[in-house]
Amino acid sequence: MKGKRMLKMFSNMVTGLLFILLLVTLFAVISMKASGGEVSLFGYQMKTVLSGSMEPEMKTGSIIAIKDTDAKQEFQKGDVITFKTEDDVFVTHRIEQVKDNGKQYITKGDANNAADSEPVVPEDIVGTYTGLTIPYIGYVMNFASSKEGAALMLIIAGVCLLLFSILMIWRALRQLDKLKGGMRADVE
């Protein structure tokens, strides 16, 4: 009796986790598509590290969390910021020098030999690095933001939920058969 209760509790937990996984996957795919591939939640954005310019702190293929900022925020030498370049590329580098009382910032990747060629203006800064780095997840995020990746993630989550549902229905039908078989034995 105790084993059945534990099995039922485990079954309910797995069902709940699969359902939550499906919802999170759906939310992530929709938000990535709506925001052009980057997830933003509660004032934080997740960015994929595409180069080794900030190694060893941020390895290629990692994702980092950045906190949204506004153009009025002032930054100091040593702050790590994410900014948008003229080519609409997001770059995360460390501030090497503050110029014109915070109207321009000279940035440099930790692993780069020289500072970036163009100064950064406050309007181009989208966030500051929070210190959170998760290795290798960036590869998955990049794949998930593609059409094929988004479809595959949704299909995998859906198939897992469907298979688990089939298993639960099969178990319930087996239990019903046992109950019917037990009732027939009592009647005879």
| Residues forming the active site | 51
Instruction: Write phi, then psi, for 25 (nearest 5 degrees).
Output: -60, -45
Find the DSSP H helices in 35-62.
Answer: none
Find the DSSP H helices in the chain.
Answer: 2-34, 137-145, 147-187
* Stated length of the chain: 188
Q: Which two tokens stand for residue 56?
A: 């060893």
Instruction: Write phi, then psi, for 36 (nearest 5 degrees).
Output: 75, 25
Q: What amino acid occupies position 59? A: K
| Residue appearing with tokens 């019903």 | 176
The answer, yes or no, to whether the previous bond of 122 is cis (omega within 30 of 0) is no
- Helix (H), strand (E) at residue 146: none
